[in-house]
């Protein structure tokens, strides 16, 4: 990775189930990684745990606003019910940046049913909240958190949706750095399909007792 391409990634709400796994994989790939949280203590604690896995002190913890200010690309990993409130506090700080949204709009008690918000997807809601000054991209919705935490290739592809082509390309590079296969799945309008698949996969997990079902795209791309 060249000096110009060593970007800083901030994982907002990164102390939960998804953030530490992504932090570990991206730091291992050579990115500068910040874990953000509402509280500095939790952010630093999560960063310390990732650094212990890496045997290097390279991941840092900050409060969410400072993490966003310091990054090139932000990644949102908060639960759906916390998404809007989190983004409202960060709206001004995110302007001019790419935001990768991993959120899935799960609605208890039956999270195995796809229940999309009125906007069509949680990612579209994020774009509506932040405005056109932020390039919002959907990614990582269908990757089971149990796999992210483990240190092995993950048997799941990642569909990436967004209205800005360059932002999608940046997200696809992050997918590859996390040792996953990514696919450009088109504009943000398609994010509802991607998010809804997560509920389908959770239902499959339950019915067939699978540890983290995922998706794979078949077929061989034609050479240009």
Task: Judge whether 214 lies within some domain.
Answer: no
Q: Is residue 113 part of a domain?
A: yes
Alpha carbons 96 and 107: distance in angstroms, whole number: 31
Range of the domain at 166: 3-208
What mean pLDDT do residues 204-216 have? 96
For the ranges 5-9, 38-42, 207-211, which has the lowest average pLDDT? 5-9
- The Cα–Cα gap between 153 and 219 comes to 20
Q: What average pLDDT does the segment 1-20 reach?
A: 84
Q: Is residue 188 part of a domain?
A: yes
- pLDDT level of residue 201 (50, 70, 90 thresholds): very high
Q: What total number of domains does the chain contain?
A: 1
Share of the chain above pLDDT 90, in %: 92
The answer to whether residue 216 sits within a structural domain is: no
* Spatial distance between the Cα atoms of 175 and 170, rounded to a whole number of angstroms: 9
Decide if 131 is inside a domain: yes
Instruction: Indicate which CATH number applies to the domain containing 45.
Output: 3.40.50.720
**pLDDT for the residue numbered 153:** 86
The rounded Cα 165 to chain-centroid distance in angstroms is 17
pLDDT tens-digit readout, 96-146: 999 999 999 999 999 999 999 999 999 999 999 999 999 999 999 999 999
């Amino acid at each position: 990775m060249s000096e110009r391409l060593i970007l800083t990634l901030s994982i907002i709400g990164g102390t939960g189930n998804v953030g530490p796994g992504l932090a570990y994989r991206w730091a291992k790939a050579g990115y500068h990684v910040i874990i953000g949280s509402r509280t500095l203590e939790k952010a630093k604690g999560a960063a310390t745990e990732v650094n212990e896995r890496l045997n290097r002190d390279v991941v840092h913890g900050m409060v969410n606003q400072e993490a966003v200010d310091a990054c090139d690309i932000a990644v949102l990993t908060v639960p759906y019910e916390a998404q809007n409130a989190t983004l409202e506090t960060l709206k001004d700080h995110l302007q001019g940046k790419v935001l990768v949204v991993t959120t899935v709009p799960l609605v208890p008690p039956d999270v195995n049913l796809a229940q999309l918000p009125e906007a069509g997807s949680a990612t579209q809601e994020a774009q509506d909240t932040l405005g056109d000054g932020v390039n919002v991209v959907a990614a990582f919705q269908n990757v089971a958190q149990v796999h992210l935490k483990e240190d092995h290739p993950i048997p799941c592809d990642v569909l990436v949706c967004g209205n800005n082509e360059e932002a999608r390309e940046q997200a696809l590079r992050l997918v590859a750095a996390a040792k996953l296969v990514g696919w450009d799945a088109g504009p943000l309008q398609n994010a509802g399909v991607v998010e809804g698949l997560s509920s389908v996969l959770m239902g499959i997990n339950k019915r067939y007792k699978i540890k983290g079902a995922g998706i794979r795209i078949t077929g061989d791309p034609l050479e240009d």
